[in-house]
C-alpha cells in the first residue's frame, strides 16, 4: 500500500462541529455502504427452480 499511496505525512481528518473522523476511516465506511447496497441490488446467480448446483 505504501508503494501506491504516500503515507509519509500526518493523517487527514474531516471536522464537523464536535465530530472528527479520519479520511481513511470515512473511505472504509463509504465502501461498506456501497458493498451493502450492491449486495441487495445485484442479482444472485440462480441455479433455476430445480435447485441443481
Partner 1 sequence: MSISEHEGPALEHEPRSWSGALRDWAVRTLPPEKALPDKQPSYVASWIYVFGVLSLSSLAVIILSGTILALKGPGWWHFTGIGRFFNSVHLWSVELFFFVMVIHLWGKYFMAAWRGGRKAVWITGAITFLVAIPCALTGYVSQQNFDAQWISTQAKDAMNAAGIGSFFNLLNFGQMYSYHILVLPAAVVAIVIGHILLVRKHGVVPPFKLPATTAAAGGDGAGPDAEVSAS
Binding site for partner 1 (CB under 8 A): 28, 31-32, 35-36, 38-40, 42, 44, 46-47, 49, 51-53
Q: How far is the CB of 15 from partner 1 (least distance, A)?
A: 19
Nearest residue (CB) to partner 1, 16 versus 44: 44
What distance, in Å, lies between the first and last C-alpha atoms of the chain? Answer: 38
Spatial CA neighbour of 31 closest among 43, 23, 41: 23
Q: Please, which residue, 12 or 40, has the CB nearer to partner 1?
A: 40
CB 35 within 8 A of CB 29: no
Amino acid at each position: 500500500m505504501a508503494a501506491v499511496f504516500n503515507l509519509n505525512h500526518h493523517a487527514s481528518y474531516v471536522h464537523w462541529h464536535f465530530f472528527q473522523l479520519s479520511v481513511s476511516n470515512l473511505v472504509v465506511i463509504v465502501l461498506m455502504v456501497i458493498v451493502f447496497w450492491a449486495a441487495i441490488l445485484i442479482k444472485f446467480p440462480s441455479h433455476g427452480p430445480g435447485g441443481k448446483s
